A and B are shown apart, each in its own frame.
Chain A
Amino acid sequence: MAAAARWGKRLGGLAIVFLGVTFIIYLAVFALPGDPIRAFAGDRPLSESVVSALRAKYHLDDPLWRQYLDYLLGLFQGDLGQSFSGRPVAEQLANRWPVTVVLALTAWVLEIVFGLGLGVVAALKRGSLIDHGLLALTVLASCVPVFVLGVLSQQFFGVELGWLPVAGVRDGWPLSYILPASVIAVFGLSAVSRLMRGAMVENLEADYVRTVRAHGFGEGRIVGLHVMRNSLIPASTYLATDLGYLLGGSVIIEGIFNLPGVGNLLFDSIRAHEGPTVVGIATALIVVFLLTSVLVDALHALLDPRVRRG
């Protein structure tokens, strides 16, 4: 019962966050200076009657609260609205999200494999040259701006060596995704390996490990079964949250690598003052983010019995 109440409260909270955030985003898009129809038309202005017809079509002359209400009503009926170029937002999301999901999962797996792996190695060899080398590398990697990494890797692997496609998703997974996913993963990977190393080092020195060791268990079993599992908590919390971010798409990387994902769609839509599209994407992103935060909690409970019982 207590669990049900807790979850009920949690979902109620989600609904409030959801409403609040969509409204703020709606407001923010409308607070952008300039008229959306004219922004859309650019240097070549439209004739008056076209402008008024378009304004009527997108209800731009209604007051803001009315537009937001209409939008919410549509949302509950499963209608995410239309972009100014007349494309359903839902359709655009459906087209774009698979690309972002593939990119995100690829990057995420790289973070898990290399982040955890390097963290474990660094912890086991703590104080050694390898440990210090990894520290230097990961700090350095997380300092380089992502677009620099993106453009450099594109030049090197795409143009100079010609091993991987420069841009686009035409070569499918994995070829088209290796470069962008690696670039995205670098930052998370560094964080994960630092977290993993820290927790491992702490646990390796812990009393219970000394006790286990005193019982005569092999080092492999100690590290694998006890230390690693207990050390996963900080890294897994980070990884789960990070998945939420990754699924939101990377505006910069999707732009540089010309990947038709949601990050890209969001960027274009903000630039074009496409209120409905921006809110539609943001709404979907919020849902994903909220879901991953629930996932984090569940995962936490799984790994840490204290959370489960508490």
Chain B
Amino acid sequence: MKLSIRAGLGVALAAALSLGLTACGNDSSSDDPTSGAPDGASIVVATETIDHLTPGNHYSAYIAILSLFTPLTSLTQDEQLEYQQAESVTSPDGLTWTIKLRAGWTFHNGEPVTSDSYIDSWNYLAYGPNAWVNSGQLRGVVGFDEMQGENPTAQTLSGLTKVDDLTFTVELKVPDRQFPIQLSDGQTGLYPMPKAAFDDLEAYDHFPIGNGPFQMSDIWASDRDDIVVKAYADYKGAKPALSQITFRPYQDTNTAYTDALAGNVDITAVAGGKTAIAQQEFGDRLYALDAPGVDLLAFNSNDPRFADVRVRQAFSMAIDREAINQAIFSNSQIPATSLTSPSMPGDPAGVCGDYCQFDPVAAKALLAEAGGLEGQVVLLFVGGWGQEDLFQAYANQLRQNLELDVVATPSTDFADFQVRLENGEYALNRARWGALYPSQQDTLHSLYTAAGDGNYAAGGYHNAEVDALLAAADGASSLEESFAGYRQVQERIFADFPVIPTFGNRYLWACSERIDQLPSAAGSVYFARVTLK
């Protein structure tokens, strides 16, 4: 039943819908959405089970943490960079970046937000032995490598330099024009922590003190307890319309959904398989938010049957994305025409060309031209995530349109899926990437370079030409120029066709009748900007 996929921001959000168990009853004071805060501007948001609340060391607390912290930058709904805690983030060469902070901002305990807040937090995050799970978000900074391993040679990031209380510089290993976007919401590891945090990090994990629009209301004692946050009176950014938010963990998305139907939950994510029924039951209170994630089918690069690029292209053309979108997702997803989500700034829509268009006749001809294909084709996907229908549909289409023996095979769970990938027990596998920040950079680097976190899932595809084109795009002199660079990268990758892009993601959220607007960017809901009727 659990739908969650944990790739990054996207997934964190989708998973937010997915769920756990609830409060132990010791904090029952504030959970009733209709009677919580004195002015009634209090809502309940369903989340998955939350592991930690420390921004540098959590997997699943994204939506709660976003309300407690303000990032340095964010992207607006129309994909423009907007400064938040930062007053400016500038660089003459893309290599050394100067971050100026807004003056007068404070953490919830009154401590000012300074360049030291960032430097201390980032040093702690980057230090390998601390093993904070989001430490990789700093890997582009000079000095990161020296802090890894069992006996690191450095304790601090040599690339960070304090200029004054509100200014510091960051030196990167290679020029990177996407750096300001990397500082946006999804990379929670880059959020600042106050000095008080380091006195007792264990206590901080249960009562994080941030720089965001909301502050913790009570200590979060157990992982199944509600997390209750209330508006922070001294917040210097845009004041939230809400006075209080209760983040309630559910183990099962379906239970959260039912609770939303009963009016006990104001905002919940909806599993993709429930789209049709949710459209009926929630009508215009169902939001489909463009998200930075993309679904793919990746070829096993060690399978000689797929050595000919025409075979791979034929497979892509044999898939009717429109029909699947209609049948499985009730048209809530976006048929893919590039390697990145259409909502990604600069996404080169259509770069895949005819090969992402459904054309069974051409597909069959292309396959025949390449000499056909023998034996069974195993389409491996993750079992237990509610994706059986989707993968059966892919397999059926490939079977019928190419007249091949294609079987959709589920793994037992995600760990088993990884084992099967490593053992090469597949011909095609389910892959996806949810970018942590809205730049094509994250998706392209993660999936199509040898060092990328998701490279194993993308069939292990990488080559020097792609690396060089990516480096050039990253180092472009402006964002616009980098978009042109990423288009070239995508064209180059498509020449090899290592994966079949299937869908750009949209995350579905259902709201109660009390919610007027669900503001979002890059698939994330901005709770601070939610308004009530």
Contacts and interface: CB of A to CB of B under 8 A. Distances in A.
Interface of A: 32-36, 38-50, 52-54, 56-57, 85-87, 91-92, 95-96, 98-99, 151, 154-155, 158-159, 162, 165-170, 172, 254-261, 264, 267-268, 271, 273
A260 B252 CA distance: 12
Q: What is the predominant secondary structure among interface residues of chain B facing chain A? A: loop
Contact of A273 (B5, B129, B133, B415): B415
B262 A162 contact: yes
Contacts of A85: 51-52, 223
A124 to B, nearest CB: 41
Nearest to A47: B136
Contact of A167 (B5, B51, B250, B415): B250
A254 B251 CA distance: 9
A254 B21 contact: yes
B331 interface: no
A50 B132 contact: yes
Given A33-B412, A50-B133, A43 B5 contact: yes
A308 to B, nearest CB: 42
Contact of B21 (A36, A154, A260, A271): A260
A54 to B, nearest CB: 5
Given A38-B415, A44-B6, A172-B28, A167 B52 contact: no
Contacts of B129: 49, 53
A170 B415 CA distance: 34
Contacts of B20: 258, 264, 268
B432 A43 contact: yes
Contacts of A42: 4-7, 11, 59, 414
In the complex, which of the residues A96, A158, A162, A260 has the most CB atoms of chain B within 10 Å of its own CB atom?
A: A260
A34 B454 CA distance: 17
Nearest to A257: B255
Contacts of A256: 252, 254-255
Contacts of A170: 22-23, 25, 28, 31
B143 interface: no
A39 B251 CA distance: 17
Interface string B443-467: 0000000000110110000000000
A155 B522 CA distance: 34
B262 A258 contact: no
Given A167-B259, A255-B251, A43 B434 contact: yes
Contacts, number: 180
Interface residues on B, range: 35 or more
A267 B49 CA distance: 13
B21 A259 contact: yes
Contacts of A45: 453-454, 456
Contact of B23 (A32, A159, A168, A264): A168
Contacts of A92: 222-223
Interface in B14-67: 19-25, 28, 31, 49, 51-52, 59
Contacts of B203: none
B261 interface: yes
A260 B26 CA distance: 12
B258 interface: yes
B477 interface: no
Contacts of A159: 258, 261-262
A262 to B, nearest CB: 11
Contacts of B259: 158, 166-168, 258
B345 interface: no
Contact of B24 (A99, A166, A271): A99
In the complex, which of the residues A34, A87, A167, A255 has the most CB atoms of chain B within 10 Å of its own CB atom?
A: A167
B449 to A, nearest CB: 14
B250 A258 contact: yes
B450 to A, nearest CB: 13
Given A47-B135, A47-B136, A166 B224 contact: no
